[in-house]
Amino acid sequence: MFYVKKMSPEDFKFAVRLTDTKGWKFIEEDFQFMKELEPEGCFVLFEDSERIGIVTSINFGEIGWLGNLIVKEKYRRRGAGAMLARQVIAYLTSKNVETVGLYAYMDIIPFYEKIGFKYDSDFTVLEGKAFASQVGTNLIEARREDYQKIVEFDSYYFGASRKKLLEAILRNASNLCYLAVEDGRILGYVMTKVYEGIAEIGPLVCQSGRSDIAIDLIRSIFNRLESFEVSFCILRKEEAILNFLKKSGIDERFHVARMFFRPTSLKECTYIAESLERG
């Protein structure tokens, strides 16, 4: 019999071992971070006393996000994955979210469709080495007094306030955040989580049709992280940005589909995900 429990610190080792089987490169601190962000929204599935799967979630108010859904291989195709996904939908619905989003590997789309998620758009995950280059526009590094404006700008496009996540990223002094500002108005921003020699770019949100600004934001991050291994997940239709990156050896690794459980009020914009597990 399967049953679900809230994830606790004793489960982090299992979560890392299980996600290692798919090469997701997590460490225990990543699950600690997810649990701090959403203490009641991360779950472990058991059969008898054996841990067999996990899922995480985050509640942003109007929107919630489902991530890290994985079941031990020998227990698949017995309803375990669907049970974990439904657990997250029930949890986020109890918190009054209007919809739940996720990024699905292309071959897993039919699984999520059976649960009720609908395809929204294609994203591509890129990886490569950051390189230095000239930045055209005047960009500024975000200061403490900019944080509120960044959160408001982000929530206008995302359709919900990601304050708790964005502030947690900004609190870590290793991370980076740049803004493009014109006449006191934000036109776009980028954040980057920086680790030892590697960095995950995102979120990036920028006014639609201003890929020049988005490219400059990416350049400003690359200039700070020259020869770091960088990765990020961007809308596949952003041809100008993808061409700029490909010419410089940043390659597409795989594609994912953004899916939502119910319709969403996301606004058209240039968008790099914060992460696959949190939107």
Question: 155 CB contacts (<8 Å, ≥6 apart)?
Answer: 161, 162, 163
- Rounded to the nearest whole angstrom, what is the least distance from the CB of residue 103 to ligand COA in the complex? 6
Told to check if 71 binds ligand COA by CB under 6 A, we report yes
- Binding range to ligand COA, per CB under 6 A, among 80-88, 135-143, 146-154, 201-209: 80-88
Residue from the set 7, 42, 63, 104 that interacts with ligand COA by CB under 6 A = 104
Structure tokens at 211: 């890929």
- Residue 148: how many CB atoms within 10 A of its CB? 11
- Rounded to the nearest whole angstrom, what is the least distance from the CB of residue 187 to ligand COA in the complex? 32
Closer CB to ligand COA, 46 or 111, in the complex = 111
- Binding range to ligand COA, per CB under 6 A, among 77-85, 134-142, 143-151, 258-266: 77-85
Told to check if 184 binds ligand COA by CB under 6 A, we report no
Site string for ligand COA, 144-183 (x = CB under 6 A): ----------------------------------------
Closer CB to ligand COA, 47 or 212, in the complex = 47
Residue from the set 81, 128, 159, 203 that interacts with ligand COA by CB under 6 A = 81
Residue from the set 25, 114, 253, 267 that interacts with ligand COA by CB under 6 A = 114
Q: Give how many residues touch ligand COA by CB under 6 A.
A: 18
Residue from the set 105, 120, 137, 262 that interacts with ligand COA by CB under 6 A = 105
Told to check if 23 binds ligand COA by CB under 6 A, we report no
CA distance linking residue 24 with residue 199, whole number of Å: 14
Told to check if 239 binds ligand COA by CB under 6 A, we report no
Question: Which positions lie near ligand COA, rule CB under 6 A?
Answer: 22, 69-71, 76-82, 104-105, 107-108, 110-111, 114
